Chain A
């Protein structure tokens, strides 16, 4: 068990190191002079201003030293100050992180909770035309563009319930009902592809589990079919489900960035798109680094959970 844990931990460190190097190199891969490009967005370019910005971003030092300084500061949670607003980058990210996290969490909740019964149902009605119909529906759900679904939902709601506030964002602490009300549509739009994906996964895992010997034993001793499905088969079917939920968070984060734009939610999407528009590279770098590190950590935790849930992995 400890050896498995140690191996995972080493993997984690190597991946995080690699991610930080790629994110660090981003700014040096920009064609032309990154500093001139950054300046060009807002002010006139003078040699003094370029030297000043060069010094602030740290591009005047040797590359290894630059990386060490940057990564060291990042480990302490210091991502420098935003080039244009002068506020700490970490604070800006934190400010925009919550709406995105909330949206991601709600969508994951809706998708994962609904996927289990839907997947079980799909597994039970196997074969024939119903099977094909369900398959096609699941693929359709998987390929619906979330941002388009969001637009359609806004249109439908505007026609049916014009009083329902569906755009914008209010913090949960200020107005919990208003917050959840505004989060409902984007969370549904984001959750549908997840639901389609996860329920297909539950279906196949259930079919797998239902064919196992212990399920036959459970049936042979006269257990009710519902008990066989939900108590015996489902438990084992949930193991691959868990891993997928971890991977889904990455997809959801990306999807959330796009769906946020549809619903005018001031999350990471707005932050990073704004940063790209004003060529605020340190802010782009920090956002990508923080979110990716978070995503890697979530998957690491899911891996650990996997070891706890499935005794076979420990051996």
Chain B
């Protein structure tokens, strides 16, 4: 019964995430208006049948900008988490496989990066690169690199001791072949779960950075930016801020639920843990 409920949860999470990805990728198809089209007469409108979510301070359609905002946010976060996985994951695997001084040096550097509060390191990196969507993505990638390195090193250490790795070595497989073809596939479920959970967190970080004016710059549609612009007109028309916030929440919630449900389904040992 519980297994069934969990699988239902997984199905729900998959549908929730899939809908939002489709909406993001198909923004030009689904969006009722041009995201940049301004209208002086229709500014700060409440939701109507013409503008389902109302209009913002420049008369732009909020629904349209949210759909395009999904796109900006998803692209930045997928890029960031992907890069972090690639670099951090490789470092973690290499550290676990070669051990010794290489392991110590890599993990020390990861410890240092991990020591920074996430937002602060991200702000520091953006101070260097200048505010931009891609700076925010780069900042998130750097912040998440040590997380992937630590995450994969642990289980990889165990796998390196296993007999099939010893066997692969005995028949003369190269190090790279062993790491990527023999060890990596066994870490797939860990990677899948963590990627989903980190995507959820990355969406919040990206939105925060854009909200602070350090991420995506106007007039590019961005959820965090909509929130910060909408904040100035809160008492006149709170719609753009409210809907943009819901959009961030749903996007982050979907990926977090997906990661949570995946962990339950893929790893029986972790069942019942948060």
- Are A201 and B274 interface neighbours, CB within 8 A? yes
Contact digits for A65-104, partner B, Cβ 8 Å, 1 yes 0 no: 0000000000000000000000000000000000000000
Whole-angstrom CA separation of A19 from B113 in the bound complex:
7
For A154, what are the chain B residues with a Cβ–Cβ distance below 8 Å? 234
Q: Residue A41 at the B interface, CB < 8 A? A: no
Q: Residue B108 at the A interface, CB < 8 A? A: yes
User: Smallest distance from the beta carbon of B52 to chain A beta carbons, Å?
Assistant: 20
- Are A145 and B249 interface neighbours, CB within 8 A? yes
Report the stretch among A23-31, A178-186, A223-231, A302-310 that lies at the interface: A23-31
For A207, what are the chain B residues with a Cβ–Cβ distance below 8 Å? 272
- Are A26 and B115 interface neighbours, CB within 8 A? no
- Are B120 and A276 interface neighbours, CB within 8 A? no
User: Smallest distance from the beta carbon of B208 to chain A beta carbons, Å?
Assistant: 5
Q: A26-B128, A145-B245 are in contact. Are A261 and B115 (CB under 8 A)?
A: no
Q: A18-B109, A258-B208, A292-B117 are in contact. Are A151 and B5 (CB under 8 A)?
A: no
Q: Residue B56 at the A interface, CB < 8 A? A: no
- Are A204 and B249 interface neighbours, CB within 8 A? no
Report the stretch among A1-9, A55-63, A106-114, A247-255 that lies at the interface: A247-255
- Are B115 and A273 interface neighbours, CB within 8 A? no
Q: A14-B108, A18-B109, A132-B9 are in contact. Are A143 and B256 (CB under 8 A)?
A: yes
Whole-angstrom CA separation of A127 from B4 in the bound complex:
12
Q: Is the interface of B mostly helix, strand, loop or mixed?
A: helix
Report the stretch among B86-94, B151-159, B210-218 that lies at the interface: B210-218
Contact digits for B26-70, partner A, Cβ 8 Å, 1 yes 0 no: 000000000000000000000000000000000000000000000
- Are A272 and B253 interface neighbours, CB within 8 A? no
Contact digits for B98-124, partner A, Cβ 8 Å, 1 yes 0 no: 000000000011011101111111111
Closest to A268 in B: B120
- Are B257 and A136 interface neighbours, CB within 8 A? yes
- Are A288 and B123 interface neighbours, CB within 8 A? yes
- Are A19 and B117 interface neighbours, CB within 8 A? no
For B249, what are the chain A residues with a Cβ–Cβ distance below 8 Å? 140, 143-145, 148
Whole-angstrom CA separation of A26 from B125 in the bound complex:
8
For B241, what are the chain A residues with a Cβ–Cβ distance below 8 Å? 148, 151
- Are B111 and A139 interface neighbours, CB within 8 A? no
User: Smallest distance from the beta carbon of A180 to chain B beta carbons, Å?
Assistant: 24
User: Smallest distance from the beta carbon of A270 to chain B beta carbons, Å?
Assistant: 11
Contact digits for B221-257, partner A, Cβ 8 Å, 1 yes 0 no: 0000001100100110010011011001100110011
User: Smallest distance from the beta carbon of A298 to chain B beta carbons, Å?
Assistant: 10
For B256, what are the chain A residues with a Cβ–Cβ distance below 8 Å? 139, 142-143
Closest to A34 in B: B128
Q: Residue B127 at the A interface, CB < 8 A? A: yes
Q: Residue A177 at the B interface, CB < 8 A? A: no
Closest to B248 in A: A145
- Are A261 and B211 interface neighbours, CB within 8 A? yes
For B234, what are the chain A residues with a Cβ–Cβ distance below 8 Å? 151, 154-155
- A143 touches which of B121, B129, B208, B253 (Cβ 8 Å): B253
Closest to A16 in B: B115
Whole-angstrom CA separation of A53 from B238 in the bound complex:
45
- B117 touches which of A11, A128, A251, A273 (Cβ 8 Å): A251
- Are A19 and B112 interface neighbours, CB within 8 A? yes
- Are B128 and A147 interface neighbours, CB within 8 A? no
Interface residues of A in 282-301 (CB under 8 A from B): 284, 288, 291-292, 295-296
Contact digits for B247-274, partner A, Cβ 8 Å, 1 yes 0 no: 0110011001100100000000000111
- Are A258 and B119 interface neighbours, CB within 8 A? yes
Contact digits for B117-149, partner A, Cβ 8 Å, 1 yes 0 no: 111111110111101000000000000000000
- A291 touches which of B117, B129, B131, B235 (Cβ 8 Å): B117
Q: Residue B80 at the A interface, CB < 8 A? A: no
Q: Residue B17 at the A interface, CB < 8 A? A: no
Q: Residue B174 at the A interface, CB < 8 A? A: no
Closest to B227 in A: A148
